[in-house]
Structure 1
Amino acid sequence: MANIKSAKKRILVNETKALRNKAVKSKIKTLIKKVESAVAASDKELALSSLKTASVEINKAASKGVYHKKTASRKISRLTLAVNKIA
């Protein structure tokens, strides 16, 4: 356990940030699953609307530092490719 006050504070701040990051990642995973299920069902309209909300949230997470910029870009790219493959 840390003895220095600043080290104790860092531990608390890190816990708070870890919880926030976990919640954001969980939300994004749910949104990705919605897009993928719409693609599997070949529902173009639902897939497009789900893709729009998912990409906004992924970009927001990247700007906050939850995801790396390139990781976010890769996720959005793969989702967009899957949606565009629907006839």
Structure 2
Amino acid sequence: MANTPQAKKRARQNEARFAINKMRRSRIRTELRKVEEAIASGDQAAAAAALKAAQPELMRGVTKGVFHKNTVARKMSRLSSRVKSLA
């Protein structure tokens, strides 16, 4: 348990940051799931639209420090190649 005022404040900040990051991660996972479902359905137009909607969320996750840049780049590359292969 935090005893000093500084440690108490850091604990509060960590809780707030954890909640925000959890919300961001959840939103990104939802967007990725929509892309996966569109790919599974075999509809390239829907999959491309879902990928285009997911891209800004993924990049926002990078800038906010939720995901590493290379992780997002790898996910985007793999998803875009799978969407392209639907044609």
TM-score (normalised: structure 1): 0.94
- Tell me if 1:39 matches 2:39: yes
**Matched residues in 1 for 2:79 and 2:3: separation?**
47
**Matched residues in 1 for 2:3 and 2:37: separation?**
50
Which amino acid in 2 is paired with 1:44? Q
Q: CA deviation at 1:25?
A: 0.7
Question: Aligned pairs, how many?
Answer: 87
Task: Output the aligned Cα RMSD.
Answer: 0.9
Matched residue SS, 1:2: coil
Percent identity of paired positions between Structure 1 and Structure 2:
44
Q: CA deviation at 1:79?
A: 1.1
Runs of 4+ in 1 over 4 A off after TM superposition: none
TM-score (normalised: structure 2): 0.94
- Tell me if 1:9 matches 2:32: no
